[in-house]
Structure 1
Amino acid sequence: MTGAPDTRPATREAEPLSVELTGAGPRLSRARPRRPDTPDAVLVEPALVGICRSDLKEIAGMRPGPSQFGHELVGVVARSSTSRLPVGARVCLDPNVPALRGTGFARWMWAGGDGDLLARALPLAPAGVGDRRLVFAEPLACAAHCLTMIRRHLGGSDLRGATMCVLGAGTAGVLIARLAEAAGVRVLITNRDADRLTFLAERRVLPRTGGAPLGETSSDAHDIVVIATSYVRPEVLEHALRLAHRHGLVMLYGGTAAGDRLPGLGCDLDRVRRGELVQTTEWRGKPVRIGGSYGTTPGDFQHALRTLSDSPDGLGVERLITAEVSLPELPAVLRTLVEERRFGKVLARP
Structure 2
Amino acid sequence: MIGTQRTHRRIEHTHGTAILTTASTSGFDTQTGCSAVLLAPHTVGVCRSDLREIRGERFGRRDFGHEIVGTVLDTSSDLGHLREQTIIFDPHPRLSTRSSGFAELVELTGDATELQAALVPVPGGLDPEAAVFGEPLACAVHCVHRLLRASIDVEPDSPVAVVGAGMAGILISAALVGRGYRGALFNVGPERITFLNDRKALPTASAQIYNGHATFSRVILATAFASPRYLDACVRLLADRGVLVLFAGTEPGAHFGDVDIDELRRHELTHQLSTAGKDFTVVGTYGATRADFTDALALLTAAPNAAGWSPALCVQRLITHRLTLTDAASFLTASAANGVLGKAIVEIDTRSRS
TM-score under structure 1 normalisation? 0.90
Among residues 130, 142, 154, which one is paired with 2:151 in the alignment?
A: 154
Q: 2:72 aligns with which of 67, 77, 99?
A: 77
- Which segments of 5 or more consecutive residues in structure 1 lack a partner in the other structure? none
Residue 27 of structure 2 corresponds to: 35
C-alpha distance in 2, partners of 1:144/1:218?
Answer: 27
Bigger shift: 237-246 or 334-343? 334-343
How far has the Cα of 1:183 moved from its partner?
A: 2.2
Q: Structure 1 2/89 Cα, relative in aligned 2: closer, same or farther at 3 Å?
A: closer
User: What fraction of aligned residue pairs are identical, expressed as a percent?
Assistant: 34
Q: What TM-score do you get using the length of structure 2 for normalisation?
A: 0.89
Q: Take 1:148 and 1:135, find their aligned partners in 2: how far apart are those partners?
A: 21
Write out the 4+ residue segments of structure 1 that deviate beyond 3 Å after TM superposition.
35-39, 82-86, 157-160
How far apart are 1:39 and its partner, in Å? 3.2
C-alpha distance after superposition, 1:130-175 (max 9, x if no partner): 10000000000100110111122224x6984121111111111011
| CA apart distance, 1:286 | 1.1
CA distance in 2, matches of 1:119, 1:175: 26
Q: Is the 8 A contact 1:159 1:183 kept in 2?
A: no
Which of 314, 320, 323 does residue 321 from structure 2 map onto? 323
Question: 1:304 — aligned with what?
Answer: 296
Is 1:54 aligned to residue 46 of structure 2? no
| Aligned-pair CA distance for 1:341 | 3.7
1:178 pairs with 2:170? no
Query: Aligned partners of 1:62, 1:164: CA distance in 2, in Å?
Result: 30
**Aligned with residue 260 of structure 1, among 254, 279, 296:** 254
Does the CA contact (< 8 Å) of 1:160 and 1:184 recur in 2?
no
Counterpart residue identity of residue 148, structure 1: H
- Aligned residue identity for 1:22: T
The count of corresponding residues between Structure 1 and Structure 2 is 337
Whole-Å Cα distance in 2 between the matches of residues 113 and 205 of structure 1?
A: 39
1:71-150 equivalences under 5 Å are: 71-81=66-76, 82-83=78-79, 85-99=81-95, 100-150=97-147
Matches of residues 179-258 of structure 1 in structure 2 within 5 Å? 179-214=175-210, 216-219=211-214, 221-258=215-252
User: Separation in 1 of the partners of 2:138 and 2:313?
Assistant: 13
Q: CA RMSD for the aligned pairs?
A: 2.0
For residues 242-268 of structure 1, the C-alpha deviation after alignment (integer angstroms, 9 at most, x for no partner) is 001101111110111122124xx3322
Residue 277 (1) aligns with residue 269 (2)? yes
